[in-house]
Amino acid sequence: MKMRKIIITGAKGQLGQSLNKLIRHFPDFEFINTDQAELDITNLEEVRAFIGNNPAYALINCAAYTAVDKAEEEEELAFLINEKGPHNLAIACRETKTVLIHISTDYVFSGQGFRPYPVDTEVKPESVYGRSKAAGENAIQKINPAGCIIRTSWLYSEYGQNFVKTMLRLGHDRNELNVIADQIGTPTYASDFADAILKMLSHPEKKFDQENGTSLYHYSNTGCASWFDFTIAIIEIAGLDCKINPIPTENYPLPAKRPFYSVLNTDTTKDQFGLEIPYWRSSLTTCIKEIIKNTE
């Protein structure tokens, strides 16, 4: 089989590094890694030139503005990266017949529901970050290149800075932590998500083509938890001695409003691609073992 090239934007982030970790398991793929220094996705002509000079089967857009609270004061920058960037990629991918895989978020939902959100749920973001990501989805869907938008939630990994690594550090340094207990979602291990994306791209029967345009999928690990539940699991798995106290959101005010419930319904993704999605706590155990191994 001919080697298929895949451009990865935001390759130095959690998901980008997780994709690269798995490349040995997908010998039919070759990655072209880019970050902001190699490709400014907010510049349409630069995007066109890069994709034109690097013909690829697909582009996985992991690049995003993800500073949820800072976005409340940097709205223009958040929209530049999260809306204009995907808009530019969609144009260039459609022109070159490159499959576009764009990563989005549970923050596009209001968080006022009580059942896992199906992919066709109306988006009602309540933060600048959520609105900017919803705008990016909309921009791609209007251009409608071959590919898909995949929403995920509560992403963590052994790379970069994330909730798991922060709680491990705090749990080691402190005797007691207060953690929000009334926001419910699904912790998602970036390595599992990366594996799912590459399996979706290599599925023998499911094709991404211009006839089908841009599809919409959800991916997260299975199960759900509050941030309090998540932290309890982190501390237990790591064997740390730290008391975790549950608190309501109102006791820990932040600039950006978070969804109170943002569990994603992944049935469509599982059914169409035959994916087996791990339970969140088992994946958390795997990740913490990797983090500990990397620090020894």
Q: What is the pLDDT of residues 211-235, one digit of tens each?
A: 889 999 999 999 999 999 999 999 9
Alpha carbon separation from 191 to 152, 194, 237, 284 (Å, rounded):
13, 5, 18, 11
User: What are the residues whose beta carbons fall under 8 Å from the beta carbon of 286, sequence distance 6 or more?
Assistant: 189, 191
Active site residues: 129
| Residue 116 in this model has a pLDDT that exceeds 70 | yes
Per-residue pLDDT band for 285 (boundaries 50, 70, 90) equals very high
Residue pLDDT, tens place only, 117-170: 999 999 999 999 999 999 999 999 999 999 999 999 999 999 999 999 999 999
pTM: predicted TM-score of the whole model, two decimal places: 0.96
Count of beta carbons in the 10 Å neighbourhood of residue 23: 14
Percent of the chain scored above 70 by pLDDT?
Answer: 99
Query: Is residue 20 predicted with pLDDT exceeding 70?
Result: yes
Pairing of β 184-185 and β 225-226: antiparallel
Closest CA to 72 of 5, 146, 131, 142: 131
Please report the pLDDT score of residue 296 as a whole number.
67
Domain boundaries, the chain: 4-153+189-221+263-278
**Could you tell me which CATH number the domain at 4-153+189-221+263-278 has?**
3.40.50.720
pLDDT of residue 1: 54
